[in-house]
Amino acid sequence: MTNYVIQTDVEYDQVNHQVTDIYYDGDLQQSRGAIIDIHGGGWFRGDKSKDADSSKRFVDEGYLVVTPAYRITPKAFYPAPLEDMDRLYEWLTKADLPFDHAHIGAFGSSAGGNMVVELSIKYGIPVASLSGILDIDKWLGAHQDVVAQEGDTSGFNTTASANINQTGANDPFYKWFVTNYFDGRTDQYEAATPVHRVSDKTGQMYLANSLNEFVPTSGVLDMAKALTEHQIPYQTRMIAGSRHAKGYLDDVWDDLVRFFDRTMK
């Protein structure tokens, strides 16, 4: 039985006063490494508490987990959430916490899946992205005729992520929350699309997506091509059906455990 130690609302950012929850096994003198677990929500909804389940599962595998809050719309827009994660990463590398500081990775779903890929590109750490929002500029350019529509998102803060928007492709909703992230600006799409910045120093990635969900599979395929060109090892997994992100967490969990076991040795 894991002896969970949970510290809530620990400030990691003295600039914008953002906080994180921290999970680890109190029976371990030192966790094998740290995993940053970034929640989804389209950059406009969601809360760190919704990833308590995945955080505890990673603790069961011997990791310390930090599960941060970050700025979301309408209080902040791109690139504010990414700036928050830069501050989180810097804080974590120096934090007096019981884990092997030579090993840091990240796990994220949906918008969080985008943000962990950004961390991998910037800092070379291994990451796992479930239904990450990766295709931005190309997709928007090819879907100019789609009318953005929010639809009913009233339950996003109370509904488990595994039950949100899993009825298949939904281009109006995808366009709505992606463009919402930029507060109406159209000049940031390319800069915000991570595939353009993959380099030889990018970390290893695990990328998963459902074949018929509202997040397009093109993001995974484009990222795989860029990683191949830069000789960065990666793994992809396409799941049948329309489940989104943590909706298929159980299906890919063994993959995730093996991925982090391999990349965080």
Please give the domain boundaries of the chain with CATH numbers for all domains: 4-263 (3.40.50.1820)
What pLDDT score was predicted for residue 265?
Answer: 84
Phi, psi of 121 (to 5 degrees): -65, -40
What pLDDT score was predicted for residue 238?
Answer: 98
Angle at 220 between CA 127 and CA 118, to 5 degrees: 40
Helix (H) or strand (E) holding 109: strand 104-109
Helix (H) or strand (E) holding 4: strand 4-13
Measured CA distances, 86 to 36, 119, 120, 167 (Å): 12, 8, 11, 34
Tokens representing 67 are 């599960």
- Spatial separation of the C-alpha atoms in residues 161 and 140, rounded to whole Å: 24
pTM for the model stands at 0.95
- Spatial separation of the C-alpha atoms in residues 265 and 91, rounded to whole Å: 22
What pLDDT score was predicted for residue 158?
Answer: 44
- Spatial separation of the C-alpha atoms in residues 67 and 204, rounded to whole Å: 21
- Spatial separation of the C-alpha atoms in residues 218 and 135, rounded to whole Å: 6
What pLDDT score was predicted for residue 151?
Answer: 77
Averaged pLDDT, groups of 10, the chain, 265 residues long: 97 97 98 98 95 98 98 98 98 98 98 98 98 98 95 54 63 96 97 98 98 96 98 98 95 98 95
Positive/negative CA dihedral, 217, 252, 204, 72 = positive
What pLDDT score was predicted for residue 169?
Answer: 85
Among residues 188, 193, 229, 224, which one has the least CA distance to residue 206?
224
- Spatial separation of the C-alpha atoms in residues 137 and 189, rounded to whole Å: 5
- Spatial separation of the C-alpha atoms in residues 146 and 251, rounded to whole Å: 32
3-state SS of 114-183 is HHHHHHHHHHCCCEEEECCCCCCHHHHHHCCCCCCCCCCCCCCCCCCHHHCCCCCCCHHHHHHHHHHCCC
Rg of the chain (C-alpha set): 17
- Spatial separation of the C-alpha atoms in residues 69 and 85, rounded to whole Å: 9
What pLDDT score was predicted for residue 152?
Answer: 63
- Spatial separation of the C-alpha atoms in residues 209 and 166, rounded to whole Å: 12
